[in-house]
Structure 1
Amino acid sequence: MAVAAAGGALAAAMAGYFSFGRVSAAESHDHKTWTEYEGSLDSSQYSALKQIDKSNVTHLQQAWFYPAGNNGLLFGFNPVVVGNTMYVIGKNNAIVALDAATGKEIWVHDNDNPRFITHRGISYWQSKDGSDRRLFFGTGYLLHAIDASTGKAIDSFGDHGSVDLRVGLGRDPNSIHQIQSGTPGRVFENLIIMGSATGEEYGSPPGDLRAYDVRTGKLVWTFHTVPHPGEFGYGTWPKDAWKYIGGTNTWAGITIDEKRGIAYFPLGSPTYDFYGADRAGADLFSDCLLALDARAGKYLWHFQAVHHDLWDYDFASSPKLLTIRHNGKKVDVVAQAGKNGFLYVLDRVTGKPIWPIVERPVPPSDVPGEHASPTQPFPTAPPPFARQSFTPNDIDPYIADPAEREKIRKEVADARNLGLFTPPGLTNTIEMPGNGGGANWGASAADPAAGFVYIQSKNAPSMLKLEPKAPRRPLSGSPAIQGRILYLQNCRMCHMSELQGQPPSIPSLINIVPRIGVDRIRSAVTNGLSPMPAFTDLTPGDVDSLITYLTDPSSAQVPPGVLARLKSPPQSEGGAPVRYWTGYGYMDSTDGLPAVRPPWSTLTAYDLNKGTIAWQVPLGEVSRLAAKGITDTGSYWPRGGVAVTAGGLIFAGTKSDSMIRAYDKDTGKVLWEKEMPAAPEGIPAVYEVDGREYLVVCARPGAVLAGSDAGSRQNSEQAPGPDAGASANSSGKAEVQGYYVFALPSGDQSSSH
């Protein structure tokens, strides 16, 4: 299977058909506004504003704060600013318009289904004369359009203001419980181009790419990411795979070359993430960077980073467009960071790698029925940004208990560990970077004209072990016992046997019912809640039994014989194929820190004019360790991403120390840092109103991690600091979840360039 393809004669005709020229990214957008998710259509997370720079960044002060309530899904919204108006998610996951200079509410749009919302950003469109201005966002399985001036639903869009995203996927719409992504679509001309978050469990829907008319909501084009008969790539799957394979979806950001009309889609892994006996082949277009004609959805080229993915190594960050100097010439490129620690750099018109990417042999699978790809693509340049091996010598030296440290060392020593792309097996298998490591959503940014890319990444190993997934059988016993059995069959692999979860990404379910309520649990199980899939085979009665068990786990004493059968299910039942599954396998010690030695997160600067790493530094710290003088560890499990500015700065927030920092983009040196009352989790946005430059970042009280003292501060009933701007709610507690906005004092301001 070729690593990259350009569609044969199509590639040769592309220049004439699209009038492609060598148009630099800097020319297609001036980057002085933040009217799009991630700043602009090129997803650069870059601002050309210079008022805040290296010389004055230490003078930053909080200008205002907007509280956003206790929204469980608000964990990384990237505000959009159009003129003097900022659009955000507010209390109860309402869409809110704010005065971008003061934070004063202009209007609030309440949602009927607020729990499942596009929680990372929003899409904005306006007509050429500016008379029609719209916002697009999703809740549940619906795409909504509202008036950006008033917040009112636009009745002429779709069915009274919304479009059902379940329709048109070739499956029964009523069988689709999870489709809408937390990442917004991308508006291009008069289209809203949509990805999806399908889940990657058995039975998930396909991740078709689709474009809708922004005025009417009518479907304009569809691209099948699992090809149908007769379509390019169909032969890389079993013949009927398009009928049952799901995933292969774009849940990260979509990027568009505005001048050329090319849309770039980072695609995810197919179902099931870690076992693929039912999808033998390279599985196009999974794990691909896919280029389509944005206006028509026609295939242009693809690059596949992982053949027949068995590691959940989906592309989770948006592609970056920039111009570099290569072999003495200016070349427009697209750079895509992966969970596996590689940065892939391709010519954005042809998909040809800028530096050779070679196929190398990788370990085979030892699982019955599995056919792992014998080779995988390895970039020869630039070098990887994340660690790609984990040995007994790499155990975290700060694990407090020597016995636990030795236990983890032995587990690593005994595991199957043949390097990058070791397939998951029936015994413990090391995955490094783990499926939660490397570059995730929002993690990369670019200086488009300078040819630099900056990547926030995690060094986080996983330990995978496949087990046969037990087929459904009749249940017996009390509701609590039935719920316990259902939990072991469906939830244990991720939330663990004793409900303890795998923080910070997979929460503990201990006391979950009083914490979040029955309705929310029922909705999450039925409809999914990323990264948790929807459990479509559970009946309402099953869910009731599961909730009964979660309410009082001690009441569910399952007979030993039943437990034994659950642990050793039959290899097949009724002629049905065996399905294997595994948890995500995050490797943490009991104090909540990674099993691998630090740094646990890094910020890496790439000079793509040379194909080299210019610098790499730890990203943040862990508060408790820093208090003991243990520094340069990097933050644990940062979420969100970074923003780069022409003022020479990189802004980044970290969870485990609740800090927002400004780094020197030329050296990686920390120039400014501010401890926040809540943990920043989003992508910062940089904007200007009336000649004043602002920085805004979303933050919330995060899960309390062992090894961090952030929780006591974040959950305090005391108001956070004199300049925090937090307001008190009806209970008298300070509201710290929301949007923190910084600017220079009035005396330090000068006109930005």
Structure 2
Amino acid sequence: MHAAKSPRAPWLTGAVFALIGLALSAGGIRLVLLGGSWFYLVAGVGFVVVALLLWMRRAAAIPAYALVLLGTLAWSLWEAGLDWWPLATRLGLPFLLGLWLLLPWVRRSLRPVGSDLPPPGGVARARAGKPWLLAGVVVAVLLVSVASWMADPHRIEGEAPAARAGIAATPAEVPPGEWPVYGRTPHGQRYSPLDQITPRNVDELDVAWTYRTGDVPGQPGDPVETTFEVTPLKIGNRLYLCTPHQFVIALDATTGEEIWRLDPEIQGELALQHLTCRGLSYHPGPVATDDPQASAATSKDPPDAPVATRSVPAIDANGGTGDEAAVPVVRSDAAAETGAPTGSPNPTGAPVATASLPVAERCSAQLFMPTSDGRLLAINPDNGRVCPEFGNGRGQINLWQHMPNINPGSYYSTSPVVVTRGLIVVGGTVLDNVTVHDASGVVRAFDVDTGELVWAWDSGNPGDTTPPAPGETYTENSPNSWSISSVDEDLGLVYVPLGNQPPDQWGGKRSDAVERFSSSVVALDLATGQVRWVFQTVHHDLWDYDVPAQPGLVDLTIDGRTVPALVQPTKQGEIYVLDRRTGEPLLPVREVPAPQGAAAGDHTAPTQPVSALSFNPPPLTGADMWGATLVDQLVCRIRLKQLRYEGRYTPPTTGGSLVYPGNFGVFNWGGVAVDPQRQIVFAMPTYLAFTSRLIPRENDEKLYVSEGSVPPHSPLPSLNENFGAPFAVEMAPFLSPLGIPCQAPPWGYVAAADLTTGEIIWRHRNGTVRDLTPLPLPFRMGVPGIGGPIMTAGGVAFLSGTVDNYVRGYDVTTGEQVWEERLPAGGQATPMTYLGADGRQYLLVVAGGHGSLGTDTGDHVIAYALDADDVDESE
């Protein structure tokens, strides 16, 4: 049977070698001319030579290919060392071809070396084809591969310190079993003092209950980035959450049973770039005092009230505060039924809450929900009815008041607002790279009871924080705060992470104020809104390196003294540790020279800041390029040489630049978790390169980069067009022709670092490609993620944000993964943990997917807990 096939084997095999050789040779010539590696050209010639020998049916093809494979092995080890995935893409296809040439029916059709006669028969034929050299090289490749499976050059081993004696989690007034604020406390640490779940018993976690919201992304009119990113609040025995389409839901924290649901009736036809709700905010109501009459007479903290005077009101068995029964809400559309005044029409066309929604008689506590049509609703947590005393009888405030360039959907708060000291501090997201005539990035403080504006800090006009006069508007297109802020009530400061001014990639017309505040963290005085200090993380940002994450506030022990610190993760991978009183660095920050040569009409900053605690990756080189085969890896190398790339902060150009880390960020809104007792940070750094190319605009009508991306007559915005600027921008992840990252994995890690020294304690690749490939291959390559981690006093950290559908638990001391559970959808939200009414510690995970990442969508809220008997034994 083989003899019949053997005459054709050399021709077919030779054709494969010839195709590979021609592709490598052609690409190799191009790469050499660009100043890149000579390997691909030399290897391509070798493949062509082997193809010719095969077509001539010469047995010399086998030792010739042995030399090609040996050279490929040596080059691979020189470039990649014992790093399996870079070795696999270099050696995988050549190794398989070597195995093919060793097959008997291929060798039997080849003439012996030095013979012009037809292939011999019998024993002589077999001897002529014995390829000892090629077999030896194939075995060497296999041994190197096995050795690389035992090594991980990207891994850092170490152990985190134990909890330090005498250091308590702060602020102490938050009950241990509660999660009443997005980051559990106003300090944003994402740290729980609960210790029921430990590395020893975490593998016994089981699903306690699952709740389905019924709100799944992908509805008509949704933008691509429609995401379920909420971290629920836990207050008493209730959970409070919001969904992508802005439903507000209360659940029983122990059973998962729905208690009430509110549809805030978002107006349609919105110019949305993002559709999400990361969380709600809670106000416990009146200040507890010794005078009941005084407590009843006031419902907010005075600006100078100490933190110790605040208390959480008594919660009944159902999680209510006792003033009204907990019942499901039925929408009422008649204003007459609510008795709410209608007033003047909303300038954005959004509905008035008290005119179209059920209204509470009174609210002894409040939930605050920012909506995608630019409102902030006050809701009674007892029953989901709106609070009529808020917003001058409307149950809401209109965040479009005094805004320039009103375009519903182009501005709203995707993140929860800050509630503190009788104030609600509100930032908001604006459209990215659509127009220079956008809404303002103003940060405002409203009275928590009435909704009256108290102060407004506009980064485009930072000196004047008084409320604007009638008819006045804030500065258009000023840097905004789309992420989550943190509060230190003792210091009277709110810490606000700021983004950049669109267009992100061209800054030729930025004002002095914009230059000062873009991509910074700013400390604002709670009483006045005035700037107390500002720390800029990127100078003249041209890369969309917004400060994306909530600052973590923690008291650190440095040189034997306690210092109030702020921990700020950034997209470019720096973690700045600052004195939160002054903004001065506690870990050294140095200015390093940055690449120069911006686009026409722009400039670049001469230096950029670098922290002593940094997850900034090394610059990419040709050796870092990757692909499924040598051929698409070669394409990535050519593309790398064609792009302008001089390391981090390479300016955008009309010819195209490589941006690494990309604007996806080493850290994004999920941020980091801080353990105040160990004084460490738990992080999930992500590494993805992007490309950007500036496209000169001829006018403000033509679509240069978004044509066809928005349905006709849709209000959805034309992203990256930069109307009013001299350039549109084309951005994309840096991918191979097969759609996989051009840079070699790992693309995602979990890591811990010491906040007092800046030392990275341990770092491990995290996540698999199971949900990224056509076949469910569980290769632990280290994948990207979005959504944050949490830490617990039990010594376990939890994370669900990777692009595979898992929630995982990690031993905080060593970083080893100690538990994982499959999720029904992408878990791109930050988990939380709390104590149920049954005395068990619950882990809560939201699994709904992320539109931009393309993870599986869903509507799941899942609670995990230990078995009650296991809890009794652990106690």
Q: TM-score, with normalisation over the residues of structure 1?
A: 0.76
1:423 maps to a residue whose letter is P
Do the aligned residues in 1 keep the contact of 2:693 with 2:731 (CA within 8 Å)? no
> Is structure 2 residue 201 aligned with structure 1 residue 56?
yes
Out of 394, 399, 402, the position equivalent to 1:165 is 399
Q: For residue 71 of structure 2, what is the aligned residue in structure 1?
A: none
2:867 corresponds, among 729, 735, 745, to: 745
Alignment counterpart, residue 261 of structure 2, candidates 77, 96, 108: 108
Distance 1:39 1:634, change over 3 A: same
CA contact under 8 A between 1:365 and 1:424: conserved in structure 2? no
CA contact (8 A) 1:206 1:248 kept: yes
Q: Deviations over 1:554-600 (max 9, x none)?
A: xxxxxxxxxxxxxxxxxxxxxxx861121333212354432211111
Q: Secondary structure at the match of 1:307?
A: coil
Query: Which residue identity does 2:761 align to in structure 1?
Result: A
What amino acid sits opposite 1:319 in the alignment?
P
1:210 match: secondary structure: strand
- CA shift, 1:641, in A, is 0.9
Q: Is the 8 A contact 2:801 2:830 kept in 1?
A: no
- Give the equivalent residue in structure 2 for 1:155: 388
Aligned residue number for residue 706 of structure 2: 491
Q: Deviations over 1:710-732 (max 9, x none)?
A: 86xx7xxxxxxxxxxxxxxxxxx
1:122 aligns with 2:337: no
- Match of 1:748, SS state, is helix
Question: Are the aligned partners of 1:50 and 1:752 in contact in 2 as well (CA < 8 Å)?
Answer: no
Q: Does 1:76 align with 2:198?
A: no
Alignment-derived partner of residue 620 in structure 1: 767
- Gaps of at least 5 residues in structure 2 are 1-166, 218-225, 289-312, 314-320, 322-363, 466-472
Q: Report the equivalent of 1:697.
A: 845
Please give the per-residue CA displacement for 1:388-424, whole angstroms capped at 9, x wherever unaligned.
522221112xx22543321121110222111111111
| Aligned-residue offset at 1:346 | 0.5
Q: Secondary structure at 2:650's aligned position in 1?
A: coil
Read off the aligned partner of 1:489 and give its amino acid letter.
Y
Structure 1 segments of 4 or more deviating over 4 A? Answer: 26-31, 114-118, 228-231, 242-245, 624-630, 701-706
Determine the structure 1 residue equivalent to 2:529: 297
Residue 220 (structure 2) aligns with? none
Report the counterpart of residue 456 of structure 1 in structure 2.
684
Contact 1:700 1:737 in 2 (8 A): yes
Deviations along 1:186-235, one digit per CA (max 9) or x if unpaired, are 1102111111101233222221111111111111111111235789xxxx
Query: How many Å apart are 1:114 and its aligned residue?
Result: 7.3
1:447 aligns with 2:709: no
Structure 1 residue 184 displacement after superposition: 0.9
- Please give the alpha-carbon distance, in whole angstroms, between the structure 2 residues aligned to 1:440 and 1:408: 26
Distance (whole Å) between structure 2 residues aligned to residue 227 and residue 704 of structure 1: 34
3-state DSSP of counterpart to 1:450: coil
**1:649 touches 1:664 (CA, 8 Å); kept in 2?**
yes
Verify the 8 A CA contact 2:228 2:849 in the aligned structure 1.
no
Maintained 8 Å contact 1:655/1:702: no
Question: Could you say what secondary structure the match of 2:799 adopts?
Answer: strand
**Residues 275-424 of structure 1 aligned to structure 2 (within 5 Å):** 275-279=506-510, 283-379=515-611, 381-382=612-613, 384-396=614-626, 399-424=627-652
Is 1:210–2:332 an aligned residue pair? no
Tell me the equivalent position of 2:696: 468
Alignment equivalent of 1:438, drawn from 666, 675, 685: 666
Report the Cα distance in structure 2 between the residues aligned to 1:524 and 1:674, rounded to whole angstroms.
37
- Three-state SS of the structure 2 residue aligned to 1:203 is coil
1:427 is aligned to 2:642: no
Say if 2:258 is the partner of 1:258.
Answer: no
Structure 2 counterparts to residues 533-572 of structure 1, below 5 A: none
Q: Secondary structure at the match of 2:730?
A: coil
Given residue 78 of structure 1, which amino acid in structure 2 is its aligned partner?
T
> Do the aligned partners of residues 147 and 27 (structure 1) sit closer, same or farther apart at CA in structure 2, a change above 3 Å counting?
closer
Compared CA separation, residues 29 and 301, structure 1 to 2 (3 A): farther
Q: 1:329 to 1:704 in 2, by over 3 A?
A: closer
Q: Does 1:86 pair with 2:239? A: yes
Q: Residues 770 and 779 of structure 2 are in contact (CA less than 8 Å); yes or no, is this contact kept in structure 1?
A: no
Corresponding position of 1:596: 743
Partners of 2:772 and 2:804 within 8 A in 1:
no
Bigger fraction of residues in strand: 1
Shift of 1:81: 0.6
Percent of aligned pairs with the same amino acid: 31
TM superposition shift of 1:441:
0.5
Which protein, 1 or 2, shows the higher relative CO under an 8 Å CA cutoff with sep ≥ 6?
1
Contact 2:229 2:276 in 1 (8 A): no
**Contact in 1 for aligned 2:801/2:829 (Cα 8 Å):** no
Query: C-alpha separation between the residues in 1 aligned to 2:464 and 2:184?
Result: 38
Tell me how far apart the structure 1 counterparts of residues 571 and 200 of structure 2 sit (CA, whole Å): 35
Letter of the structure 2 residue corresponding to residue 470 of structure 1? E
Q: How far apart are the structure 2 equivalents of 1:260 and 1:522?
A: 47
Change (3 A) 1:91 1:458: closer
CA, structure 1 residues 408+124, in 2 after alignment: closer, same or farther (shift >3 Å)? same
| Structure 1 residue 244 displacement after superposition | 6.2
Secondary structure at the counterpart of residue 274 of structure 1: coil
Aligned-partner Cα distance in 1 for 2:565–2:647: 30
Amino acid at match of 1:167: Q
Q: Which residue of 2 aligns with 1:67?
A: 212
Q: In structure 1, the residue corresponding to 2:234 is in which secondary structure?
A: strand
Distance 2:699 2:475 in 1: 17
Q: Does 1:642 align with 2:789?
A: yes
What is the alpha-carbon distance in structure 2 between the residues aligned to residue 31 and residue 274 of structure 1?
44
Change beyond 3 A, Cα 1:270–1:148: same
String of CA shifts for 1:527-568, please: whole Å, max 9, x gaps: x8xxx58x998xxxxxxxxxxxxxxxxxxxxxxxxxxxxxxx
State the distance in 1 between where 2:173 and 2:583 align.
20
Mapped to 2, the partners of 1:150 and 1:625 lie a distance apart of 42
Using the alignment, how far apart are the partners of 2:535 and 2:521 within structure 1?
A: 5
Count of aligned pairs between the two proteins:
609
Quote how far apart the aligned CAs of 1:120 are.
0.6
Larger radius of gyration: 2
Q: In structure 1, what residue type is equivalent to 2:281?
A: S
Distance 1:229 1:431, change over 3 A: same
SS of residue in 2 equivalent to 1:583 = strand
Q: Which amino acid aligns with 1:121?
A: G
Deviations 1:460-512 (A, max 9, x none): 11111111123135xxxxxxxxxxxx6x43515xxxxxx6xxxxxxxxx5xx8
- RMSD across aligned positions (CA): 2.9
| Equivalent residue in structure 1 for 2:181, among 18, 33, 36 | 36
